[in-house]
C-alpha cells in the first residue's frame, strides 16, 4: 500500500525573508507490518545475560553529506554576554550508567563508545538508556530500582535480531498522554536490519511490555530518534547503503502498540539531500490541535527545514508528508568546519567530535493554547561574527524557538550561546509550562576537561537571550587513545507531574582514558514555575 505525498505551497514569512518549499517531497509512503510482536509479562523477572555485552567497540561516525555553511562565516545571532538573572542551581545530581555504576542487577562495565546518553522522566520513575544498557531510577529518592541490564534484556525471549543483538543507538521517551514508556534500539549486527520498539503496559518501567520489531531490509537505519504524538510514535533515521541514501521518516501505530495489538509502520524515504531530521516530541498536558501533523525538522545553509507528517491508519492512502518549508535563520557556520572533530580537552592533544552536521535531540513541542512552539538546537562556529570578531575557532550552541508550525512558521527567537571561548556542544533543550527554557550541554577547552553545564531563560527575559550558565559537574578527565566520539546526544526532559522540573543527562569523565565514561542525571526548575 502507498500513501501520497503533498507538496507544500510557497509561504511568506513576516519577519526576515521568504519561507518556501525547497526540493519538495515526491516519494510515496510505504506501509509494512511489524516483523514480530509479543508481550513481556514483567521486566523485573529478567536477569542480565553477560553474553549480551560485547567489549571495546567504538561506534563509527556516519556523516551526513548535505550542504551547510563552513569556514568563518560570521554568526548572525551571537550572544556573547549573559542575562544577569541567577539560574536555579541543579547541584551535582546523581550518578547514571557508566564506569563503576551498579544497581540491583549488578555492576556495569563500559563496552561501547560513545555512550549515546538519553533519559526520560515519568510519573514516579526516571529511565536512563545508554548505548547498550538500561536502568530505572525512583524519581523521588534517585535510587536505582532496576538495572543496569543490557538494553536487549527488554527483548529476552522475543527471538531474532532484537534478542540476539544488543547494538545500541537507543532512545527512551515517556508518553505522558498514556503514562507509558517507549524504548527503541536498532539491530544491525545481522540482516534484515531492524528497529526494536518496546512500549510499557503501565507507567511502571519494571513491569510488562509490548514488544515489536520493524524491518528496514539491507538499508542501515542509523541514528534513530523518536517523538511522541497523539496519532503515532514517530521515528526518523539516516539511511545508508553503500552511500548515504537520505533521511527516512516513519510512523508507528501508537494506538495498536499501547494495547499490544498487531502494528504497522508507514514511512517516507527522502532523497540524499536531506539528513539529520528530528520528529517533534510532545511536552505538556495540552495536546496539539485535533488532526495536527507531526512536525519534523533539520537544518541546511542558514535555514531550517520543516515537514508535516500526517498519518492515517484507517486509510493509508490518505497519509501525507508536506515540505520541506525552508525557514531562513540568522547566518551560521556548522561547528568544526561542517561537523567534524575539533573540540579540545585539557591535558591531551586528542580532539572530540562535534557532531555539528545535525540537530541535537530533542525537537521539543508545546501547545500553549494561544500558540504552538518548537525548540531545537545544534552546534555552530562561534565568535567570528558580531561581538568577538577576532576569536573565530570555538563552538557555541545555536538554539531556536519556532512558532506557528501549522501555518506560516516564524522564528520567534534565536541566538548562539557562547559567552566566552570555551567550546560548547552536544546540547539538548526543552521548555516548561510557563515558556521558560533550559539548555544543557558539554563544555571543554584546552584548559578544562569536558564538563556538564546548562543555561536557560525565563519567559520574561529579553528575547534571544540566555542567562548566566551553571555547572552541574566539572569533569576531571579527558578522553584519550583512539576515541574521538562524544555523546552522540544528551537529553533534557520535563517532569510530567509538575510540568516545571527539568531533568538533564549526559556524559563526563572522572579520569583520562578510553572506554571509561560516566554519566550524570541532574534536575532543577525555575522558582516562578509552580
Residue 467 has pLDDT above 50, yes or no: yes
Confidence of residue 7 (pLDDT cuts 50, 70, 90): very low
Confidence of residue 44 (pLDDT cuts 50, 70, 90): very high
**Contact between residue 130 and residue 97 where contact means Cβ atoms under 8 Å apart:** yes
Q: Is residue 330 part of a domain?
A: yes
Q: Is residue 17 in some structural domain? A: no
Percent of the chain beyond pLDDT 90? 82
The residue segments making up the domain with residue 175 are 30-525
User: How many distinct structural domains can be found in the chain?
Assistant: 1
Residue 87: pLDDT band (50, 70, 90) is confident
Is 16 part of a structural domain of the chain?
no
Among 61-65, 163-167, 322-326, 329-333, the range scoring the smallest mean pLDDT is 61-65
Residue in the structure block whose three cell numbers are 519538495: 24
pLDDT greater than 80 at residue 60:
no
Residue 58 has pLDDT above 90, yes or no: no
Q: Tell me, yes or no, whether 475 lies in a domain.
A: yes
pLDDT at res. 26: 46
Angle at 164 (CA atoms; ends 159, 167), nearest 5 degrees: 130
Written as nine digits, the cell of 175 is 508518553
DSSP for 67-127?
Answer: ----SSPPPTTEE-S-B-SPPPP--S-EE-SSTT-EETTEE----EES---EEEE-SSEEE
pLDDT at 68: 62
What per-residue confidence (pLDDT) applies to 22? 40
Q: How confident is the model at residue 53 (pLDDT cuts 50, 70, 90)?
A: low
More confident residue, 347 or 24: 347
pLDDT tens digits for 25-35? 546 889 999 99
Q: In which band, very low, low, confident or very high, does the pLDDT at 80 lie, cut at 50, 70 and 90?
A: confident
By mean pLDDT, which of 77-86, 99-108, 226-235 is the weakest?
A: 77-86
Q: Which three cell numbers stand for residue 135?
A: 536502568
- Write out the three cell numbers for 57: 567497540
pLDDT at 435 over 80: yes
- 427 Cα distance to chain centroid: 9
pLDDT of 216 reads 97
pLDDT, residue 125, reads: 98
In a domain, 302, yes or no: yes
pLDDT in tens, 144-177: 999 999 999 999 999 999 999 999 999 999 999 9
**Residue 52: pLDDT over 70:** no
Residue 170 lies in a domain: yes
Residue 9 has pLDDT above 50, yes or no: no
pLDDT for the residue numbered 383 = 65
Cell numbers linked to 443: 563544555
Sign of CA dihedral 460, 174, 485, 134: positive
- Whether the per-residue pLDDT at 14 is higher than 60: the answer is no
Strand partners, 399: 377, 415
Which pLDDT score, from 0 to 100, does residue 3 have?
A: 42
Q: What is the mean pLDDT of residues 319-335?
A: 95
Residue 51 above 70 pLDDT? no
Question: Helices marked H in 298-435 — which ranges?
Answer: 335-339
Asked if residues 498 and 139 have their Cβ atoms less than 8 Å apart, the reply is no
User: What was the pLDDT predicted at 2?
Assistant: 40
Which residue carries 519556532 as its cell?
402
Strand-pairing partners, residue 229, are 232
pLDDT number for residue 392: 52
pLDDT score, position 21: 40
CATH number, domain containing residue 78: 2.130.10.10
pLDDT at 210 exceeding the cut of 60: yes
211 has pLDDT over 60: yes
Q: In what order do the strands lie in the sheet containing 36-40?
A: 36-40, 209-215, 194-200, 180-187, 171-175
| Predicted model pTM | 0.93
201 has pLDDT over 90? yes
Instruction: For the chain, give the number of residues.
Output: 530
- Position 91 in a domain: yes
20 lies in a domain? Answer: no
pLDDT at 344: 97
Which phi and psi (to 5°) does residue 367 adopt? -105, 115
- What pLDDT does residue 84 have? 72
Amino acid at each position: 500500500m502507498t500513501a501520497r505525498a503533498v507538496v507544500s505551497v510557497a509561504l511568506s514569512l513576516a519577519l526576515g525573508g521568504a519561507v518556501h518549499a525547497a526540493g519538495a517531497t515526491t516519494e510515496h509512503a510505504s506501509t509494512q507490518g511489524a516483523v514480530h510482536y509479543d508481550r513481556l509479562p514483567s521486566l523485573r523477572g529478567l536477569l542480565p545475560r553477560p553474553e549480551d555485552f560485547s567489549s571495546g567497540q567504538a561506534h563509527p561516525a556516519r556523516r551526513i553529506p548535505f550542504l551547510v555553511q563552513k569556514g568563518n562565516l560570521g554568526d548572525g545571532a551571537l550572544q556573547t554576554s549573559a542575562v544577569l538573572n541567577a539560574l536555579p542551581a541543579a547541584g551535582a545530581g546523581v550518578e547514571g550508567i557508566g564506569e563503576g555504576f551498579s544497581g540491583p542487577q549488578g555492576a556495569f562495565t563500559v563496552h561501547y563508545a560513545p555512550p549515546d546518553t538519553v533519559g526520560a522522566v515519568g510519573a514516579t520513575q526516571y529511565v536512563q538508556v545508554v548505548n547498550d544498557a538500561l536502568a530505572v531510577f525512583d524519581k523521588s529518592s534517585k535510587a536505582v530500582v532496576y538495572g543496569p541490564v543490557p538494553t536487549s534484556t527488554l527483548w529476552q525471549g522475543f527471538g531474532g535480531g532484537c534478542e540476539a543483538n544488543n547494538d545500541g543507538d537507543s532512545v527512551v521517551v515517556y508518553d505522558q498522554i498514556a503514562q507509558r514508556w517507549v524504548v527503541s534500539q536498532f539491530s544491525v549486527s545481522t540482516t534484515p536490519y531492524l528497529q526494536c520498539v518496546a512500549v510499557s503496559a503501565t507507567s511502571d518501567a519494571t513491569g510488562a511490555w509490548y514488544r515489536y520489531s520493524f524491518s528496514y531490509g539491507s538499508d542501515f537505519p542509523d541514528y534513530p530518534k523518536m517523538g511522541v504524538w497523539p496519532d503515532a510514535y514517530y521515528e526518523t533515521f539516516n539511511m545508508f547503503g553503500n552511500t548515504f541514501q537520505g533521511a527516512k521518516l516513519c510512523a508507528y501505530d501508537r494506538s495498536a502498540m499501547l494495547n499490544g495489538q498487531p502494528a504497522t509502520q508507514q514511512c517516507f524515504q527522502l532523497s540524499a539531500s536531506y539528513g539529520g531530521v528530528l520528529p517533534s516530541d510532545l511536552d505538556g498536558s495540552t495536546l496539539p490541535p485535533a488532526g495536527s501533523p507531526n512536525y519534523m525538522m533539520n537544518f541546511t545553509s542558514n535555514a531550517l527545514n520543516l515537514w508535516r507528517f500526517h498519518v492515517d491508519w484507517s486509510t493509508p492512502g490518505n497519509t501525507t508528508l508536506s515540505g520541506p518549508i525552508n525557514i531562513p535563520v540568522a547566518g551560521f557556520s556548522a561547528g568544526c568546519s561542517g561537523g567534524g572533530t575539533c573540540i579540545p580537552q585539557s591535558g591531551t592533544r586528542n580532539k572530540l567530535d562535534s557532531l555539528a552536521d545535525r540537530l541535537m535531540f530533542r525537537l521539543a513541542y508545546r501547545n500553549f493554547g494561544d500558540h504552538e512552539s518548537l525548540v531545537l538546537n545544534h552546534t555552530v562556529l562561534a565568535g567570528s561574527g558580531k561581538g568577538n570578531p577576532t576569536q573565530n575557532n570555538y563552538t557555541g550552541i545555536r538554539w531556536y524557538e519556532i512558532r506557528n508550525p501549522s501555518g506560516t512558521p516564524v522564528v520567534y527567537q534565536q541566538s548562539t550561546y557562547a559567552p566566552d571561548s570555551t567550546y560548547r556542544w552536544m546540547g539538548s533543550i526543552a521548555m516548561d509550562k510557563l515558556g521558560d527554557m533550559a539548555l544543557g550541554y558539554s563544555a571543554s577547552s584546552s584548559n578544562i576537561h569536558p564538563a556538564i553545564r546548562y543555561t536557560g531563560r525565563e519567559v520574561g527575559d529579553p528575547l534571544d537571550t540566555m542567562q548566566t550558565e551553571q555547572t552541574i559537574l566539572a569533569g576531571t578527565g579527558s578522553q584519550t587513545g583512539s576515541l574521538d566520539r562524544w555523546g552522540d546526544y544528551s537529553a533534557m526532559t520535563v517532569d510530567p507531574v509538575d510540568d516545571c522540573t527539568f531533568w538533564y543527562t549526559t556524559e563526563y569523565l572522572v579520569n583520562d582514558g578510553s572506554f571509561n565514561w560516566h554519566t550524570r542525571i541532574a534536575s532543577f526548575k525555575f522558582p516562578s514555575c509552580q
